[in-house]
Amino acid sequence: MNEFKPVRFVDVALEGQFWRERLETVLTRTIPSQHVQLGKHGILESLTLPNPPPPLRFPRNEHNFTVQVFWDSDVGKWIEAASYALSHRRDAAIEAKIESIVDDLEKAQAPDGYLNCWYLQREPDKRWTNLRDNHELYNLGHLLEGGIAYFLATGRRRLLDILERYVDHVRQVFGPNPGQKRGYCGHQEVELALVKLYRLAGERKHLDLAAYFINERGRQPHYFDQEAIARGEEPKDFWAKSYEYNQSHRPVREQTRVVGHAVRAMYMFSAMADLAAEFDDDGLKRACEALWSDVISSKIYITSGLGPAASNEGFTEAYDLPNDTAYAETCASVALIFWAQRMLHLNLDGKYADVLEQALFNGALTGLSRDGEHYFYSNPLDSDGRHSRWAWHTCPCCTMNSSRLIASVGGYFISAGKDSVAFHLYGGISTTLALAGTTVALRETSTYPLYGSIKIEVSPANPARFTVKLRIPGWANGASAAINGDAIEIDAAKVNGYLSINRLWQPGDSIELELPMPPERLYAHPSVKENVGRVALKRGPLVYCIEEVDNPGGHVQELCLPRDADLLARKRDDLFGGTVILTARAERLETKDWIDDLYRRSPPARSDSKLVALPYYLWNNRGNGSMEVWISEA
């Protein structure tokens, strides 16, 4: 069992401006507008099982597939996000919308508990015949997460009851016993949802079902082979060609390389880490660690984007990290946060929190526009200006992943253990914990991630001895700290990336932590061929990019940053409610003397110029234009 557990987001008040703004945007703009979109695109209607069903909005593709099979999941994710919003403040209108959905689901549910609106409406005789492609359990997983969140937010358990009946049905259908299907879902997700249900309800059967799905995966004879044969298909005709696509190419404990569809992988690894903790399963833990090491050492963009390829929405080879064609689906970065948090609780090591933070600020946040109603599905690190945010997507998975994450972001800040509390993120939060036999009020005050001056007030109701652990980010060189004004020797007190302070805390104690944030240059491993001769800019946890709107005069790709140019950080209050930009002397490659030449013998002339860099997550909020993260270093 994990020593630390996250403090739930409802118990963490977001007080800093950075997150308050994002949270308010999600609560007031994103979640309501997503409901409108779900209605507009026929997704809500699909729950009412209209008879006859309307024509498909997204006709089946050449692989006989339509995105409509996972519409239930979009509803589930919206309920989850909306319920997190309700946890912040109740809202009768939102609750009425959820109740209406629950009415539909209640009516739709089959007498035996089965509840998949696609199959019930369109292919009632075909349930559980194509787990490989058709997302039945994935849909359940997301509905279940929605039902749990809704119950926690409101105490209403009608949806949860519906879903528990469905889970009971699933438990009868799947398993190792005679008459059961030895199957599992082609898109992992239900596993981590079942662990959540177990943790809510305490019923072991839910945990066992999650473990069954994880442990069965990839075993021979392969379930997806048998299932394809039963459908009259050739297993080898699987469109993705390899079961690496859905990480069922071998049993999960034998997987060491991160392969296939990135979101599937991240959801599965999250469940594996959950189960490693619940079962104290070293084999699972070791597999998680090997997979973590593989992805972090060779398959992650500096922005935390995962999965370079559109063809499988996923991973390819080590160091294959093209910038302009990067798929780097928003969902994958969100799901990486889920996994990183679980790894962090398996082992309180700052290396996991570093990735969590990297994914939060540079991967997940990027997916949602400033106005809260536009999205990125893929997240390239270089654009000639043709990549832009959209109001909705054929496959709207990323939209609700953004909203459910931000609406619950407080849950990633701190964790509590026995007589100890660990701060992973900073940005202005407060909470009250029961620690060491007393009640401790904690308030962290900062303008993080803009500046690294952090104050933490630790106020036990009565003096008490416990440990406060403060993450010293891996990027923070020269961090310093003081307690009540007295300096602490950080290096001596740092364990696995956390400054660990065990003392008898008194009411009114405070810690000051200073994380220097000089602008930095980062270089990529030479095997990342696109980045040879290029440099990325970072300050604190934020990766920067250069965008055409700040660097007019042509494509930003024509700018070069001299190796010796100073990088200056400057607060810009006029931009996005206040952000820190970077500026530097630069050189711009001249195009005007090229006339009609496309290739020539002499290199481009260079003119003195300037470069303005913006946090990557903010790009494409001021119209379309070119952008790049990796800048040619002159």
The residue ranges that bind a second copy (CB under 8 A) are: 59-62, 293, 296-298, 300, 302, 317, 320, 322, 324-325, 382, 384, 386, 520-529, 532-536, 554-555, 557-558, 560, 589-591, 594, 596-604, 628, 632-634
Nearest to 169 by CA among 123, 215, 225, 120: 120
Q: Using the minimum distance from each CB to a second copy, give the nearer residue, 451 or 523.
A: 523
Distance CA 402, CA 30 (A): 9
Q: What is the DSSP letter of 131?
A: H
Distance CA 241, CA 146 (A): 33
Q: Using the minimum distance from each CB to a second copy, give the nearer residue, 61 or 100.
A: 61
Q: How far is the CB of 600 from a second copy (least distance, A)?
A: 6
Tokens of 37: 């979109």
Asked if 81 and 34 count as a contact pair (C-beta separation under 8 A), the reply is yes
Query: Which DSSP helix (H) or strand (E) runs through 345?
Result: helix 330-346
Q: How far is the CB of 55 from a second copy (least distance, A)?
A: 13
Helices 136-154, 190-201: crossing angle, 10 deg rounding: 30
Q: Using the minimum distance from each CB to a second copy, give the nearer residue, 323 or 330.
A: 323
Q: How far is the CB of 354 from a second copy (least distance, A)?
A: 11
Own/partner pairs, 88-94, CB within 8 angstroms, 24+ separation: 88/10, 88/23, 88/27, 88/407, 89/27, 90/153, 90/154, 94/31, 94/32, 94/35
Q: How far is the CB of 302 from a second copy (least distance, A)?
A: 5
Q: Using the minimum distance from each CB to a second copy, give the nearer residue, 72 or 628.
A: 628
Nearest to 72 by CA among 98, 105, 100: 105
- CA distance readout (Å), 579 to 276, 356, 548: 40, 21, 17
Compute the Cα dihedral for 87, 91, 96, 98 and give only its sign: negative
Q: How far is the CB of 286 from a second copy (least distance, A)?
A: 17
Of the CA atoms within 13 Å of residue 228, those in its CB half-sphere come to 16
Residues 6+ apart with CB under 8 A from 58: 66, 67, 68, 394
Q: How far is the CB of 4 from a second copy (least distance, A)?
A: 25
Cis omega (within 30 of 0) for bond into 221: yes
Q: Using the minimum distance from each CB to a second copy, give the nearer residue, 574 or 596.
A: 596
Torsions phi, psi for 250 (to 5 deg):
-160, 165
Q: How far is the CB of 198 from a second copy (least distance, A)?
A: 34
Q: How far is the CB of 383 from a second copy (least distance, A)?
A: 10
Q: Using the minimum distance from each CB to a second copy, give the nearer residue, 247 or 298.
A: 298
Q: Using the minimum distance from each CB to a second copy, give the nearer residue, 366 or 531.
A: 531
Q: How far is the CB of 450 from a second copy (least distance, A)?
A: 21
Q: Using the minimum distance from each CB to a second copy, give the nearer residue, 298 or 402.
A: 298
Torsions phi, psi for 304 (to 5 deg):
80, 5
Q: Using the minimum distance from each CB to a second copy, give the nearer residue, 23 or 524.
A: 524
Distance CA 186, CA 228 (A): 12
Q: Using the minimum distance from each CB to a second copy, give the nearer residue, 215 or 383.
A: 383
Q: How far is the CB of 451 from a second copy (least distance, A)?
A: 20
Tokens of 500: 């660990």
